[in-house]
Amino acid sequence: MTMNVLGYAAHSPTDALAPFHFERREPRANDVVIEILYCGVCHSDLHTARNDWQNTTYPVVPGHEIIGRVVSAGAAATRFKVGDQVGVGCMVDSCQHCAACEQGLEQYCEAFPILTYNSVDPHDQMTTFGGYSQKIVVSDQFVLKVPDGLDLAGAAPLLCAGITTWSPLRHWKVGKGSRVAVIGLGGLGHMALKLAKALQAEVTLFSRSPGKEADARRLGADHIVISTDAEQMEAANNRFDLIIDTVPYIHDLNPYLPSLALNGTLVLVGYLGDLDPMLNTIPLIMGRKSVAGSLIGGIAETQEMLDFCGQHGITSDIEVITIQAINEAYERMLKSDVKYRFVIDMVSLQAA
Ligand code: NAP
Ligand code: ZN
């Protein structure tokens, strides 16, 4: 039997999110049913609710930074038992047999991964609905174990903001002696600072917001560069092995390229779309520099990141909100007024 679940949905790009009842699938043998305790609020939720990427099917229930407890596990879902604390991130399935899936890079599945919300499950053609809801049904291969000892609300953002910044740090082999910069101090940016610092890199933040300097230092930045200050930008030339750019909207990359060191890479994780102004190739050619992109991370890599966070006591800096406050939270996120991730306490859904 399918199960009726209460969540919060957007019904159009301009409507506020509001209570919404929908059906979750009947659990399959390898499914885990999870009672959702906390769900982080990612800027991607806002992009999707407002149809910024022109691919939203309404109604949409956002949320892909999910922490919960297992309430039942199918006969084939043997890695999990009732009561386990678990996480679900941005993906809930993938083809499992393409070259990307075979390497554990399900996020780059050639058939495209089934996303936690705003996707269609190929097994039953049901739309996927995300974590702003009471319960979720997920194939056990896409369920993560949350290490004991981590604050559960603070761990929620690890499922997207954490893995999206961890994956490029690992891919570009950041470690002791690496020089890493992060553009933008929001949800992704603050996790990038924490994770790069824990990997023993020397860490710099590029920010438009001078008021964030003290926080940036507390979160792990050794240096801050105010990106609107030409002198400070110039002083950062030839410095960074890796720059992680988390800015959600179109912006000029050219001012950052001179700050890459020889062989350095600027990896985009925020903005999806055409660049304007175009890239000037001169600073790329003069120094064998790269501009790259990166999407979340694979399931094994997500577990690796969670285990690393468990060992190092890393969680997100959060502001816990009720589900009723979600629309106001979106407005604050648009003003970069988040310290540094909103997390919804799903108990509040009972009052909806
Ligand atoms: P967020 O919390 O809103 O943070 C974004 C930060 O970027 C802001 O705090 C601000 O930092 C800076 N910023 C915002 N608008 C800017 C502008 N117009 N120009 C320059 N800087 C600006 O967002 P988030 O949740 O971290 O998400 C960041 C982006 O990553 C979103 O577009 C999201 O969709 C995307 N994302 C991608 C992946 C992936 O797999 N690649 C995964 C998750 C999210 P300062 O005040 O410090 O300048
Ligand atoms: Zn996200």
Q: What pLDDT is recorded for position 42?
A: 98
Q: Is residue 315 in contact with ligand 1, taking CB distance under 6 Å?
A: no
Question: Is the separation of the CB atoms in 321 and 345 below 8 Å?
Answer: yes
CA angle 46-40-332, nearest 5°?
Answer: 50
Q: Is residue 247 in contact with ligand 1, taking CB distance under 6 Å?
A: yes
Q: Is residue 144 in contact with ligand 1, taking CB distance under 6 Å?
A: no
Phi, then psi, of 103 in degrees rounded to 5: -90, 5
Pairing relationship of beta strands 223-226 and 202-207 according to DSSP bridges: parallel
Render pLDDT for 121-144 as a digit per residue (tens, 0 to 9): 999 999 999 999 999 999 999 999
Kindly list the structural domains of the chain, giving each domain's residue range(s) and its CATH number in brackets, ordered by start. 3-160+317-351 (3.90.180.10), 161-293 (3.40.50.720)
Q: What pLDDT is recorded for position 54?
A: 96
Q: Is residue 270 in contact with ligand 1, taking CB distance under 6 Å?
A: yes
Render pLDDT for 192-217 as a digit per residue (tens, 0 to 9): 999 999 999 999 999 999 999 999 99
Question: Is the separation of the CB atoms in 137 and 80 below 8 Å?
Answer: no
Ligand 1 atom 2: the closest Cα is on which residue? 186
Q: What pLDDT is recorded for position 351?
A: 86
Is 262 exposed, middle or buried (CB count within 10 Å of its CB: 0-12, 13-18, 19+)? exposed
Of 326, 325, 330, 323, residue with least CA distance to 348? 323
Nearest atom in ligand 1 to 205's CA: 47
Q: What pLDDT is recorded for position 251?
A: 97
Nearest atom in ligand 1 to 44's CA: 34
Of 188, 191, 160, 192, residue with least CA distance to 296? 160
Q: How does DSSP assign 332-343, residue by residue?
A: HHHTT--SSEEE
The environment of the single-atom ion ligand 2, i.e. residues with CB closer than 5 A, is: 42, 44, 160
Q: Is 255 helix (H, G, I), strand (E, B) or coil?
A: helix
Q: Is residue 193 in contact with ligand 1, taking CB distance under 6 Å?
A: no
Render pLDDT for 65-119 as a digit per residue (tens, 0 to 9): 999 999 999 999 999 999 999 999 999 999 999 999 999 999 999 999 999 999 9
Residue 163 has pLDDT above 80, yes or no: yes
What spacing in Å lies between the alpha carbon of 169 and ligand 1's midpoint? 17
Strand partners, 136: 34
N- to C-terminal Cα separation, the chain: 24
Render pLDDT for 212-249 as a digit per residue (tens, 0 to 9): 999 999 999 999 999 999 999 999 999 999 999 999 99
Question: Is the separation of the CB atoms in 270 and 243 below 8 Å?
Answer: no
Q: What pLDDT is recorded for position 180?
A: 99
What spacing in Å lies between the alpha carbon of 45 and ligand 2's midpoint? 7
Q: Is residue 37 in contact with ligand 1, taking CB distance under 6 Å?
A: no
What's the predicted TM-score (pTM) here?
Answer: 0.98
What spacing in Å lies between the alpha carbon of 270 and ligand 1's midpoint? 6
Question: Is the separation of the CB atoms in 104 and 54 below 8 Å?
Answer: no
Residue 352 has pLDDT above 80, yes or no: no
Pairing relationship of beta strands 66-73 and 85-88 according to DSSP bridges: antiparallel
Q: Is residue 279 in contact with ligand 1, taking CB distance under 6 Å?
A: no
